Amino acid sequence: MSKLRSRLVPYLLILPGGFWLAVFFAAPLIFLISMSIQTGNVTSGFTVTWHFAEYWLGLKGYSQQFLHSLYYGGAATALCILLSYPTAYWIAFKGGTRKTTYLFLILLPFFVSFVLRTISWQYILADNGLVLGPLKSAGLLPENFRILATTGAVIGGLTYNYLPFMVLPIYVALERIDFRVVEAAHDLYANKFEAFRRVVLPLSLPGVFAGVLLNFVPAASDYVNAQVLGGPNNTMIGNIIQDQYLYNTDYPMGAALSFTLMAFLLIGIFAYARALGTENVLEAAAA
Amino acid sequence: MTENTPQGASSAHESAVADLAMRRGLLQGRPGRVNAGLSRRDALRFGGLAAAGLGLAACGVSGAGKHVALSKVAQEAEKFWAKQKKHGHVNFANWPLYIDTNHQTLKLFTQATGITVNYQEVIQDDPSWFAKVDPEIRAGQYIGYDIMVITDGFQWSDFVALGEYTPLNQKMMTNFYKYAAPKFKNRSFDPGNTYGMPWASGSTGIAWNPKYIKDPITSINSLWDPKYAGHVGMMSDIQEIGNFGLYKIGVEPEKSGPSDWRKAAAVLKQQKSDGIVRQYYDQSYINALAKGDTWITMAWSGDIFQQNLSSGTNLQFVVPEEGGTIWTDNMTIPKYAQNPVDAMMLMDWFYRPEIAAMLTEAIEYITAVPSVQGIIAADAAKATGSDKATLQEVATSPLVWLSAADYARLHNYVDVNGAAQQTYSSIFEPVVAG
């Protein structure tokens, strides 16, 4: 009896979490896989025809948008690291008693809706808007100059929107560093730069890793920034997926593209984890 | 299960069956049932696979099934309407900038009937509206609106084919039958006004901002003019943009076929790759034009008039000599609407000539009630100041009172169904997709 129970216990323990995963992750996922191999249209209905060619068609038809997503997402993530690391470093080591205030300030924009923040950039950066209008009438910029509807605008928007997701994990990683190890490095004749390079940076890498994860995944699948700030040649794969679902009602194509994107992201993340030498992806993300 | 996946079926029953099948699939995969000889990891793995296999086969999405004869629809409608009662409230879904700004027409309706109106400008375009409400109606749910305004086009046909409209109560359309022009009572896409009453008609043409463009625009070629590169707005709606591609290559949309569509798509793609197109817009094209992001754009006639009226801009509109598009937006009642009687009363209300006149004065789109022109002219004679000029403009505007020559230049959307519609979409979708 007790043997049976001890055998059952692990299953019982896994039940709540397993149930949660089954309902909110596995079931939608299965539905999505199924959807991706169906054919039909919205009036005649969709049926499973094991039409795996949908994936190939999606990849072929929208390769440009996949590349945009990876490029914009990657560029925004890199910019976020460049901007966030010094900020997080400064808050962690020089912030003193006001650390929480600074962190709060970083988070403050989050109190305004994501879409609203992005749309307000549309007004600020409009061709004859708050910024460009006066510069143009002063003759400092050519009449044709614009920021909106360019690649830069999309990457800028992504960087702006996801910046706090990079600052916070890096800050947490830096905050944890016992400053005595830095002192120890100085005692061993390391100058400031060497101490940073050999001690602080390696210790903060899990934070950077988590930040990259939190930035790149949503940034690569984002569709709001490209829609609001981009032009017709800046479409990202998220826009296409959204259109397939919410505009064309071509559900199979939408599902196939979602899966392809997911595969790219997962492969990318694991390759990245390997390269960085971080054995356990989840551990790094949790840090 | 997820927000975006369609789980509907043509009937609630079928969807319930599909759900059950799917749940069954998941249950069989639950780890606890697998015998203890397997390791836990294996158990999970097999469980997952089994669930996946069963689940995959179970999740089809059914469609409309059979075509229903109009006489049958009329019988069903009679039974349906016999059971309905007035509730004193109605929810109205319409497009932005599509009613008099202070909603006087609706206030008068509430005064006259005691029915309150919740008027929402929630429809940005037909395809996205269809994609949003179709899964809800399939699932047998009330979409929250009793009236929705739908353009004659692909989505109109889809709604009809799927049986997602409530057939109108012909007995409650007295004003409509009394005052509407014959042309609006006899339409190929809606025989016998079974499902819709026109809200307004209008044309799709070219608008430009004279602040940036000095020469008057007359030709479709201006949308391809390198002079305006980066400042040309095109519409993201594939039916709108498809027609414009066809005018550009000199083919009438009504007579076009797949090979013409491919040629039209090619010139549109060229326009994009040459950097001429600023963006493919939904309703937001009007903001882009007003802000100066675009100088010249595809536009709907009445929007330009309203924009000029509300913010004092001087935007211009023209139906290009190569051709423009005419469309009709129709008030319809979605299936499972909760206040259909109130909806019918409001829809017919807009066919009282004085109400129709108020609407036309405000939106400057084509009305289905011909006597409105006389009423507006009379209003103009009584009015003073700037109102007088505006009303006179409405009473005589060639955009509202189209001449026979105008009608000759205006074309309908490409009207195709089923597989041809998919072909059309697959040709024009890549143009706007990026």
Phi, psi of A71 (to 5 degrees): -65, -55
Q: How far is CA B130 from CA B136, B154, B167, B201, in A?
A: 10, 10, 18, 20
> Rounded CA gap, B332 and B86, in Å?
17
Q: What is the pLDDT of residue B8?
A: 35
Q: How confident is the model at residue B35 (pLDDT cuts 50, 70, 90)?
A: very low
List for chain B the helix, strand, coil content (%; round to 5). Answer: 50, 15, 35
ipTM: 0.75
Which band of pLDDT confidence, cut at 50, 70 and 90, is reported for residue B44? very low
Element (H, E) at B382: helix B372-382
User: What integer is the mean pLDDT of B410-430?
Assistant: 86
Characterize the bridge pairing of strands A38-41 and A45-48.
antiparallel
B58/A contact by beta carbon, under 8 A:
yes
Q: How many CB pairs under 8 A join A and B?
A: 155
Mean per-residue pLDDT of chain B: 84
Q: What is the pLDDT of residues A36-50, one digit of tens each?
A: 999 888 888 888 999
Cα→Cα distances B225→A143, A148, A155, B222, B315, Å: 17, 21, 29, 5, 19
Tell me the C-alpha distance between B345 and B377, whole Å: 27
Contact flag B56-A34 (C-beta cutoff 8 Å): yes
Residue B168 contacts residue B195 (beta carbons within 8 Å)? yes
Give the pTM.
Answer: 0.77
Residue from the list A28, A144, A246 with its beta carbon closest to the beta carbon of B131: A246
B1 closest CB neighbour out of A18, A31, A248: A31
Cα→Cα distances B188→A248, B127, B152, Å = 24, 21, 10
Specify the pLDDT at position A184.
Answer: 94
Give A196 to chain B, closest Cα distance, Å.
Answer: 43
pLDDT at position B430 is 87
Contact: A46, B425; criterion CB under 8 Å: no
Name the strand (E) or helix (H) holding A68: helix A63-94
Q: Helix (H, G, I), strand (E, B), or coil: what is residue A267?
A: helix
**Would an 8 Å CB–CB cutoff place B397 in contact with chain A?**
no
Q: B254-288: per-residue pLDDT in tens? A: 899 999 999 999 999 999 999 999 999 988 899 99
Nearest to B59 among A11, A35, A148 (CB): A35
A16/chain B closest Cα distance in angstroms: 12
Q: Is B134 within 8 Å of A62 when comparing Cβ atoms?
A: no
pLDDT digits (tens, 9 = 90+) for B45-69: 444 444 445 555 555 666 554 567 7
In chain B, % of residues over pLDDT 70? 84
Are A148 and A127 spatial neighbours (Cβ–Cβ below 8 Å)? yes
CB B424 within 8 A of CB B246: no
CA A37 – CA A48 distance, rounded (Å): 6
Distance CA A230, CA B239 (A): 23
B58 and B21 in contact (C-beta within 8 Å)? Answer: yes
The answer to whether B127 faces chain A, any CB pair under 8 Å, is yes
Q: Token pair of A170, please?
A: 């890096």
